Structure 1
Amino acid sequence: MIVVSAASGALGRLVVEQLLIRIPAKDIAVAVRSPESVPGFAARGVQIRRGDYDVPGTLPAAFEGADRLLLISSPELDPIRRTSHHKAAVDAARRVGVGAVVYTSFLDADTKADGVTAAHHVTEQALRDSGLGHTLLRNPFYSEAFLNAGLNTAIAGGELWDGTDGRGINTASRADLAEAAARVLTEDGHLDRAYDFTGARWTYPELAEVLTQVSGKPVRCRQRSEPTAGIQGWLEHQVRSGALERQTGDLGHVLGRASTPLHRAVRELVPGSGS
């Protein structure tokens, strides 16, 4: 039995879809805060269990009988609450004798214990201390944080504004990361390993060229002099600092193929661009 926690989220749903390709639905269970949020999975024969990170008492029953548990990190952004969620999940997995835990960590969580990686760093240590067999999937930022429907505005206006100083970006799509997780859950040879996942590195000037190619309209990359507000501005600052330029071959190794290239990701976003 494979149990997927937080399965009602975007990544969790994609993982379950990948598992359904590989194993019978009766061998999959999902642990979700609100069981009514995943009626489609129930209709296909997937077991639906209540497992709410905010209600730790629900987690042991949600994880019961799991040969492998995919512990998808809590959506909570506050590192203290997030750490509490993860520690409760690890404790529940240990108490009910889960066979092995696959945890969606974050890139560099093994060496950095602050900011985005704070809760992940602590959770990785909690898994080591638990005695449970486990695999760490250190994911990068999702490509969707940068490559989204907003690119159609750049095409319409002929300008792609760049606040990254042209530095490299090593994101990966949710779809690729979900497939990698499903492979780790269903294949042998991944236990007690840590994978540092990155996609193929790309830049905003390269993105402007791809937008031009797929749309048939010229798109010029323009450097922004003032920082963007909000989360987008924070992400651009991370890129400018070089924090997203690291490259590894781990994602391609697990997938058995290259990660989704920039041009294909963009084609899926631009109406009428074809495949």
Structure 2
Amino acid sequence: MLSAPTPAASQRVFITGASSGIGLALARHYLRQGAIVGVTARRLAPLQALAAEFPVGQCLIFQVDVRDASAMRVCAEHFITATGVPDIIIANAGVSRGTLTAEAEDTAAFHTVFEINVFGMVHTFQPFIHAMRTAHKPGQLVGIASVAGIRGLPGAGAYSASKSAAITYLESLRTEMQNDNIAVTTIAPGYIRTPMTDVNSYRMPFLMDVDIAASKFATAIAKRKRFVIVPWQMAWVACILRIIPRWLWDRLTKNAPHKPRIEI
């Protein structure tokens, strides 16, 4: 049986992709609760600005690309040395862009999306697991997936496939961690107001403010949920998406709008 989690004010939390959007909102949420938070991103300036909002030493910043497994191991070692073994690891770093298999120049984009959205998640968790296993306290690995991983969306083959892979990977990881007092939580957001969705020109049902979403994510994490979709309306949509027959899905998506083919 998993032990009770550590109170928020004394938690150590490590979050990737914290320079904007969901990652930044989650970092602020935990920092405001008094947790010590390690944040990573490719862009340094937003992390420095975040750290400046809080007492010195509360927010540890690491400029790193989650595609670099060696660099992520160094970050993990530094964080553990400075603060101790973290209670929560949130693999949030992700990119989204429209992709078309028919376009040769989009092949590189497929590689990039998978390297960040899937392998970046592996690179985030792996350096911490041994230390979490031997820490004699409950730990938690959290992966940010997406409702887009439920069914393949037209013009978003790389993103939908990467998030589908993330959902399945996290389920495998959850079963592996069952005997180690380490919970694994999969969070699949719907439309959240972030730079990633700001470029969309099409209607986004149940669009949620990022700070509200972060609060709901944190609640699900505190409850050590296995899988959660936010907002709740999208959970019903996801249920419908799972059972729609393929012929009907093809008809519904035949003329659906596509996400812009730029990296966000």
In terms of fraction of residues, the more helix-rich structure is: 2
> Residue 196 of structure 1: which of 229, 233, 243 is its match?
229
**Residue of 107, 114, 133 corresponding to 1:80:** 114
Say which structure, 1 or 2, has more relative contact order (CA 8 Å, 6+ apart).
2
What does 1:58-77 correspond to in 2, within 5 Å? 58-63=71-76, 64=80, 65-75=85-95, 77=97
For the aligned residue pairs, the C-alpha RMSD in angstroms reads 3.7
1:106-255 alignment to 2 at 5 Å?
Answer: 106-107=146-147, 109=149, 111-112=150-151, 115=157, 116-130=159-173, 131-132=176-177, 133-143=183-193, 169-185=205-221, 187=222, 189-191=223-225, 193-198=226-231, 231=259
Name the structure 1 match of 2:40: 31
Deviation string 1:95-123 (CA, Å, 9 cap, x unpaired) is 553721111111163x4467343112222
Could you tell me which runs of 5 or more consecutive residues in structure 2 were left unpaired when the two chains were aligned.
Answer: 1-11, 98-109, 134-138, 178-182, 235-254
Instruction: Point out 4+ residue stretches in structure 1 off by more than 4 angstroms.
Output: 143-150, 227-230
Instruction: Please report how far the alpha carbon of residue 127 of structure 1 lies from its aligned counterpart in structure 2 after TM superposition.
Output: 2.6
The one-letter code matched in structure 1 to 2:218 is: A
Shift of 1:180: 1.7
1:137 Cα offset (Å): 1.0
| Alpha-carbon shift at residue 3 of structure 1 (Å) | 0.9
Work out the CA distance in 2 between the residues paired with 1:231 and 1:92.
Answer: 34
Distance change >3 Å, CA 146–CA 100, structure 1 → 2: closer
Distance change >3 Å, CA 108–CA 80, structure 1 → 2? closer
Aligned to 2:65: 52
2:106 counterpart residue number: none
The TM-score with structure 1 as length reference comes to 0.56
User: For 2:195 and 2:232, how far apart are their aligned partners in 1?
Assistant: 14
- The 3 A distance-change label for structure 1 pair 47 and 147 is closer
Q: In 2, distance between residues paired with 1:12 and 1:21?
A: 14
State the identity as a percent. 11
Q: Return the letter of the residue paired with 2:147.
A: L
Distance in 2 of aligned mates of 1:142 and 1:50: 25
- Following TM superposition, by how much is the alpha carbon of 1:53 offset from its aligned partner in structure 2, in angstroms? 1.1
Aligned length: 188
Give SS of 2:259's match. helix
Unaligned runs of 5+ in 1: 151-161, 202-226, 234-275
Cα distance in 2 for partners of 1:145, 1:135 equals: 24
When Rg is computed on C-alpha atoms for both structures, the one with the higher figure is 1
